[in-house]
Amino acid sequence: MLSPSPPAWRSEAPRSRWPHAVVLGGLMFGWLMASPLVRAGDASAGADVFKSECAECHTVKEGRNKKGPSLFGIVGRQSGSIADYNYSDALKQAQWTWTQDKLHWYLSQPAKTANPGTKMKYDGLTDAKQLDDLLSYLSSVH
């Protein structure tokens, strides 16, 4: 049976949703602005960046090291933590956690500037979009 008039909650709903939406949006915006943990990169484009910038020395295959260690699951990993890779003393002592933020900082400058004494030979990636794309790709590899 059709109701001749909408129930009371329907008419009240818009009034009650607005504050929720504003609050939720505000929280999301604030979180995104406050935290660099999530970057708006394109993982697909990042795969290409990986191939041209990283793939000669690293793979994303689990357990396979090249000149550099495997980058499988790199985001969130403790630095110098792959057991069968021979890290430099400099990286062993760094005691970093490879958050996206840390990786962004590390990869945006020459590796030997970020971590003097490292074995890694990399001049840094200065293109911000490529770096965001790369970090999105690395985040997807786990």
Instruction: List contacts with other proteins (CB under 8 A).
Output: 47-48, 51-53, 55-57, 59, 61, 64-67, 84-86
Q: Which is nearer to other proteins, 17 or 129 (CB)?
A: 129
Q: Which is nearer to other proteins, 35 or 93 (CB)?
A: 93
Residue linked to tokens 């943990």: 37
Q: What angle do CA 123, 128, 134 make, to 5 degrees?
A: 75
Give the integer Cα–Cα distance in Å for 41 and 54: 17
Minimum distance between the CB of residue 137 and other proteins, rounded to whole angstroms? Answer: 12
Minimum distance between the CB of residue 51 and other proteins, rounded to whole angstroms? Answer: 4
Q: Which is nearer to other proteins, 99 or 109 (CB)?
A: 109
Minimum distance between the CB of residue 77 and other proteins, rounded to whole angstroms? Answer: 18
Q: Give SS3 for 104.
A: helix
Residue 90, exposed/middle/buried by CB under 10 A (0-12, 13-18, 19+)?
A: middle
